Amino acid sequence: MASLSNCSSLRHGVSLWCPQSASLTRARTQVSPSIGFRSFRRSYVVASSAFANENREFVIVGGGNAAGYAARTFVEHGMADGRLCIVSKEVYAPYERPTLTKAYLFPLDKKPARLPGFHTCVGSGGERQTPEWYKEKGIEMFHGDPVTSIDIGKQTLTTNSGKILKYGSLVVATGCTASRLPEKIGGNLPGVHYIRDVADADALISSLEKSQKVVIVGGGYIGMEVAAAAVGWKLDTTIVFPENHLLQRLFTPSLAQRYEELYQENGVKFLKGASIKNIESGSDGHVAAVKLEDGSTIEADTVIIGIGAKPAVSSFESLGLNTTIGGIQVDGQFRTRIPGIFAIGDVAAFPLKIYDRMTRVEHVDHARKSAQHCVTALLSAQTHSYDYLPYFYSRVFEYEGSPRKVWWQFFGDNVGETVEVGNFDPKIATFWIDSGKLKGVLLESGSSEEFQLLPKLARSQPVVDKAKLQNASSVEEALEIARSSLKD
């Protein structure tokens, strides 16, 4: 059965397809038309040995998803060996961060994912770049030593330990940091967790091992994924959020209801429209309860906060921030306003060409594709602008023995009216239609062929017959109607 409703726009993006350059082995003498590279060629003083001292030809700051894919692109262009250096706050080589709230949190007897299993670029079917891979490729890594400041004039970075690194070209890939609840309302109590990196996930697992009652604050991706994991551990799990339903920025109320029912069947309790007053500790100083604005209290020995993230720009404000959406402002080649300096991944505010607006995307597909696009433009003759198609996905309840796996994908823009088709057993599809055009599609539990259709639809934005879609008796039929509109 189909249903129709209105919804607000996501104003948020994700995903693009970034073609691999055909000239992966272009020689370094081929100078990019990008301003950044030309400038770098002018200003960089080449050290006799790029590894001998503080002069580095290419430096990536940040060792996350985007850095891993950027490193691979440098290698593909033959420009990594002895020339590339990565400086990271984390102690691990780049890894596929989404794993942290998925397979990493599987119950300990259900084969949870652990490093080195999910180093980039395994998430997109690529080679697993272990620490040895970086060594073999001649890429210098500084771990556990964040960059604290940049001197644009001198082309140097200073790290927390006081190292000064000279760079030729610089790629900033510092991602985001988790938004925190203020300390004065208990945001830093022992037993209160935020999840952004492996160290955070390990700390959470240690808590879950001793836990009985878990409260999750936030009904977005992180909240939904951690709640699904916590019930897998057979813990009393409550999810609390101020909105009316799960993932309000994307899901329609009716779609959210399907997922909420599934979560409830799996034992997750919901407190919707609820705001946190403070988090309380017991006599041992450890978290003991979450107090809500309405005066009620929920007991908890582990609390996970998933209330969003902020771009990690504190050391890079001088590169020029976007004052509306945050992040470092870049153009369609990921160039900042400073020649020779680029920003990619979560931290970059870039032009979303397809919808003619600036955006920041906190999703892994964009981290991968922005890295490839930026480095290819930096090292080759590629001049076309990044043309990203927003893409979101989530996968939960995937541990062995789970009664039902959930895997949905969304492509496009969630604007206009919606038509929902399917009964969630297991499939359901939601189509967003604006001015008669199909603008976005979400599909749960599709086949790989069906999932492959979604970006084609969202990219083409065909005119669709809404009445026909509403009358479709199955998801398969609705997708066929949408597919046939591509040919019209």
Ligand X SMILES: Cc1cc2nc3c(=O)[nH]c(=O)nc-3n(C[C@H](O)[C@H](O)[C@H](O)COP(=O)(O)OP(=O)(O)OC[C@H]3O[C@@H](n4cnc5c(N)ncnc54)[C@H](O)[C@@H]3O)c2cc1C
Query: How, if at all, do strands 287-292 and 276-281 pair?
Result: antiparallel
Alpha helix ranges (H) inside 321-465 = 364-379, 448-460
Question: 176-213 burial string, b = 16+ CB within 10 Å, else e?
Answer: bbbeebeeeebbebebbbbbbbbeebeebbebbeebeb
Smallest gap from residue 27 Cβ to ligand X (A): 28
Q: Is 433 helix (H, G, I), strand (E, B) or coil?
A: strand
Of the candidates 55, 129, 174, 430, which one interacts with ligand X according to CB under 6 A? 174
Q: Minimal CA–CA distance to 429: which of 416, 447, 405?
A: 447
Map residues 66-105 to x or -, x wherever contact with ligand X holds by CB under 6 A. xx-------------------xxxx------xx-xx----
Nearer to ligand X, 163 or 277 (CB): 163
- Least distance in angstroms from the C-beta of 228 to ligand X: 12
Report the DSSP beta bridge partners of residue 291: 278, 297
> How many whole angstroms from its chain centre is CA 326?
16
For residue 131, give the 3-state DSSP assignment.
Answer: helix
Strand order in the sheet with 328-329: 328-329, 348-352, 357-359
Does position 315 interact with ligand X (CB under 6 A)? The reply is yes
State the DSSP code for 335.
B
Binding part of the chain for ligand X, among 25-33, 61-69, 230-238, 462-470 by CB under 6 A, reads 61-69
* Residue 362 lies near ligand X (rule: CB under 6 A): yes
Q: Which is nearer to ligand X, 237 or 394 (CB)?
A: 394
Identity of the residue, 64 or 455, whose beta carbon is nearer to ligand X in the bound complex: 64
DSSP of 451-474: HHHHHHHHHH--B--HHHHHT-SS
Give the residue, chosen from 312, 378, 415, 438, that forms a contact with ligand X under the rule CB under 6 A.
Answer: 312
**Residue 378-417 contact track with ligand X, rule CB under 6 A, x = bound:** ---------------xx-----------------------
64 touching ligand X, by CB under 6 A: yes
Binding map of ligand X across residues 132-151, x = CB under 6 A, - = no contact: --------------xx----
Residue closer to ligand X, measured from CB, 195 or 457: 195
Is position 346 an interface residue for ligand X (rule: CB under 6 A)? yes
* Binding residue for ligand X, selected from 62, 340, 422, 440, defined by CB under 6 A: 62
Other beta carbons less than 10 A from residue 115's beta carbon: 14
Distance CA 61, CA 159 (A): 10
**Residue 170 within binding range of ligand X, rule CB under 6 A:** no
Position among 63, 123, 232, 351 found at the interface with ligand X (CB under 6 A): 63
Q: Which residues bind ligand X (CB under 6 A)?
A: 61-67, 87-90, 97-98, 100-101, 146-147, 173-176, 195-197, 221-222, 312, 315, 345-347, 362-365, 367, 393-394
